[in-house]
Amino acid sequence: MASRNIRFNVTIKAPRPLVYSWLGDHEKFGSLLPGRTTRIVDGTGASGINGEGSVRRVSFGISHTDEKVTAAIPDEYVEYTVVDGSPVKNHLGRIRLADAADGGTEIDYRIEFDPRIPFTGAPTEMLVRAIIGGGLAKLKRRLEAA
């Protein structure tokens, strides 16, 4: 089965600390996505309870996916992996934030995964693109309207 690679590049006219405050916080980021997102394990380190070692549960009806933060640098970077309840394996998500030329923030969000079930890679990728892409668009509208 082929690995899937998804990339989002979005520029938001808002400062990096504000963008990170949304993407680095489980509940705030979860509010941009369908389903319900809750932190089920607190993290440690510079990013606090949402930082390294924290686990968020993304619930859709009776199913869920647990994602564990494996690295976090405040205002710059979040890395996470799926640890339970997902139709994918070898999942790695990376969110990098950089200053944009206009004073805003550039988001480089990459997701890699392997489908757990043959022939489900393309539909899973389409679903992830719709969910995350929609969430980033919602964040852009919300922050730029403020």
| CATH assignment of the domain containing 95 | 3.30.530.20
What residues in the chain have per-residue pLDDT under 70? 1
pLDDT value, residue 1: 57
Considering its fold, how many domains does the chain have in total? 1
Residue-range definition of the domain harbouring residue 92: 4-145
User: What is the 8-class DSSP label of residue 144?
Assistant: H
Q: Name the nearest CA neighbour of 51 among 30, 32, 79.
A: 79
pTM: 0.94
How many Cα neighbours within 13 Å face the side chain of 55?
Answer: 11
Angle, alpha carbons 40-70-30 (nearest 5°): 45
Q: Where are the alpha helices (DSSP H) in 34-87?
A: none
> Cβ contacts of residue 62 below 8 Å, gap of 6+?
none
Q: Rounded CA gap, 141 and 108, in Å?
A: 17
Q: Name the nearest CA neighbour of 34 among 5, 65, 7.
A: 65
